[in-house]
Amino acid sequence: MKAELFNYKCWIEASDPDQLKFAFNDLLDLCDFEKLGFLEHHFLPEGYTCIWLLGESHLAVHTYPEHLRAYVELTSCSPDKNKRFKELLGAQFKRLENIEESFITAK
């Protein structure tokens, strides 16, 4: 296997922990990612972070409820799954800002 990683990150207009948790769990299933683990944390007085450990790498979501938005970052070794995730994400959530996608390879 080639040592490559594909990274996609964006801001979305959403901050409800339950909505995000279930929506992203479904998105990962639809993209055929292998989910190995899940961890979440609710901050006081508000805020939420969740992370999926994937067979292909990871997905992290961090909310900023005071701005009604969340930061999403997916890193994966599968360009096809990353592309599908990006398409489905755009159909489900309003993206506020795409951050430059990147491709990383080990030398």
pLDDT, tens only, 63-95 = 999 999 999 999 999 999 999 999 999 899 888
Query: What digits encode the pLDDT tens for the residues 10-19?
Result: 999 999 999 9
Residue 5: what are its φ and ψ, rounded to 5°?
Answer: -130, 140
Alpha-carbon distance of 95 to 33, in angstroms, equals: 22
What's the total number of domains in the chain?
A: 1
Could you tell me what percent of the chain has a pLDDT over 70? 89
**Domain CATH number, residue 75:** 3.60.90.10
Alpha-carbon distance of 53 to 106, in angstroms, equals: 21
Write out the residue range of the structural domain in which residue 20 sits. 4-105
pTM above 0.85, yes or no: yes
